[in-house]
Structure 1
């Protein structure tokens, strides 16, 4: 069996991967505490070996014996910088499932949480963080009885994912999924009790807006100013999305904005509204600069509206040309100024 050595090169993730391999080897060999202390130094090379020898030389008997726990504490201080741990803690607070499957999300979650020991050692808090990052359709069903362990949370999410996929497949076979897919709606049947089943509908657009906000430079600046308390009309909701007077802020340069306009105008449940009605419908939920102008341009560019919708104005008559006069001054007209405007 070939054992990997560690020379200190690479990223903190590489260091964590090496530690994990060593823990597996020690567990498989059933090493005692004394054997572990003798085994680990043989796996260190280069500058890491020099560093550990220095730690051992500086270790005084008054501080107790050198154990595996002592090595872990010293190793993490050496190779997990404060800035890196702060970065991982911030990533854990904002981690989202997004378009990832439950297994992909669980893998990213595990790779992040191992650098946040305060959460990794608290099973209830670990389950809460995992639950918070799940998509809304999972949280809505699981929220009736939130899981208290991370293993339970992962298993429930995986079971729901399979149920969603089976429901979607059945709907497609029955030919009933077209409207939902066009409306960007996620749906599933969730069993609440043995005798009760309900249909859950949730739009994927709010989650896509949240993902787009995290890539938009202007909204990232707004988010920073919110934390500093410098903007009054902008707030953060429970999911961490930026809102303007309660309306979800949509980044200007994003595909999700075009999809919102399309959903509000072209789907079967909207039936091609005019610019005024479409604007009034959108402004209840979303906000972005020059929204009214964008809505007007989108409606004006709709070929179906131009071909189908009737003109509600009175029909124009034929052009009437002015009479050609024979002599100058035959017809005199003037304008009367009836109001005087003060400067």
Structure 2
């Protein structure tokens, strides 16, 4: 069941707390809530809390995002958050898959690529498994040291 715009706006505004909730009470007075679309709500919200400058910075960060010392799970969470600011990538399955793969550590990229996955969820699952395999190998090496 797909949510209608009014339902989405209602759910989102219900979750707003503290200063953001107070801001919404004030902002909603000047809006027609009966005709406010989801995109309209996001536009109002982003103009207040994610200025053009912030969105630009977050986009740049996303475009250069690499796993580095993060776990696959941490990298995936950061990647997913970044996808909201780069819809050209987030809305294209092939590009999303490619950017995620490119951001993985090289050894994990290799382990995942040999399986030839074409679905983002499968890539994430295999990257998590490859990371666990790497930890197991490292643990075995440590156990065998005299």
Ranges in structure 1 where 5+ consecutive residues have no aligned partner:
1-26, 58-64, 177-343
Q: Which residue number in structure 2 is paired with residue 49 of structure 1?
A: 25
**Structure 2 CA distance for aligned equivalents of residues 172 and 39 of structure 1:** 50
Q: Which residue number in structure 2 is paired with residue 104 of structure 1?
A: 74
* C-alpha distance 35-143 of structure 1, shift in aligned 2 (>3 A): closer
Where does 1:187-198 land on structure 2 (aligned, <5 Å)? none
1:138-169 superposed Cα distances (whole Å, 9 cap, x missing partner): 11232335533331221111110111122222
Displacement of 1:136 in angstroms is 0.9
Query: Which has a greater percent of strand?
Result: 1
Aligned residues: 142
Q: TM-score, normalised by structure 1?
A: 0.35
Q: TM-score, normalised by structure 2?
A: 0.74
Displacement of 1:56 in angstroms is 2.9
Query: Which has a greater percent of helix?
Result: 2
**Structure 2 CA distance for aligned equivalents of residues 113 and 101 of structure 1:** 18
Aligned partners of 2:67 and 2:75 also within 8 Å:
yes
Ranges in structure 2 where 5+ consecutive residues have no aligned partner:
none
* C-alpha distance 94-36 of structure 1, shift in aligned 2 (>3 A): closer
Identify the range of structure 1 (107-116 vs 135-144) with the bigger mean alpha-carbon deviation: 107-116
Q: Which residue number in structure 2 is paired with residue 85 of structure 1?
A: 55
Q: Which residue number in structure 2 is paired with residue 117 of structure 1?
A: 87
1:72-95 superposed Cα distances (whole Å, 9 cap, x missing partner): 233224432111111111111111
**Larger-Rg structure:** 1
Larger relative contact order (CA 8 Å, sep ≥ 6): 2
